[in-house]
Amino acid sequence: MPEEGKWYVVHTYSGYENKVASNLEKTVENRQLQDLIQEIRVPTETVTEIKDNKKRDVERKIFPGYVLVKMVLTDESWYVVRNIRGCTGFVGPSSKPIPLTNEEVAKLGVEKREVEVNYGVGDSVQIVDGPLEGFVGTVEEVDLEKNRVRVTVSMFGRETPVELELDQAETME
């Protein structure tokens, strides 16, 4: 049974993120290291750019110069990652890599967390987290892909739509 890996941040030359990621994937495949180096990600986001009055979606790196690697840290895995061309080292003091905490992984949105949703469109829910904690609203839309739910809350006599993460609302008992 392979050990559960932790996420580490690898520093690369700027502009070499995708090259480092693909070279690392090839090396892992060639050396059969899938149980040590489990996942490699270059975090990107899609941004709409307006240039010459034309809108177009562009994929942009969230952290230029960095690649995220989920791995079990051993001398071998450290050596393989460290010696990929374009890689300048791990993020951490001197040569000792420090894994990301669970909170950091969640904030970066690196791993998809499965959220069980026991409410649907039209249900009354209570907001259990965030600035509107304690408010009650009606579910308008549930987007499992984006981990979002739109709830209409009555504020100051007006119906106000609010976007929340799925785990920020729960059904009324």
Q: What pLDDT digit, counting tens, does each position of 85-107 carry? A: 999 989 888 767 888 888 887 77
Q: What is the CATH number of the domain that holds 53?
A: 3.30.70.940
- Give the model's pLDDT for residue 171: 84
Please indicate, yes or no, whether residues 94 and 167 belong to a single structural domain of this protein.
no
DSSP 8-state code for residue 167: G
The total number of structural domains that make up the chain? 2
Q: Report pLDDT digits (tens) over 1-21.
A: 457 889 999 999 989 999 999
pLDDT at 125 exceeding the cut of 80: yes
- Kindly state whether residues 32 and 69 are assigned to the same domain: yes
Bin 130: left if φ > 0, else alpha if -120 < ψ < 50, else beta.
left
Task: Please tell me whether residues 33 and 67 are part of one structural domain.
Answer: yes
| Same domain assignment for residues 20 and 88 | yes
pLDDT per residue as tens digits for the range 33-42 = 988 989 898 8
Establish if 113 belongs to a structural domain: no
Does residue 116 sit within a domain?
A: no
What's the pTM? 0.62
Give the domain range for residue 155.
Answer: 124-171
Spatial CB neighbours of 26, under 8 Å, sequence gap ≥ 6 = none
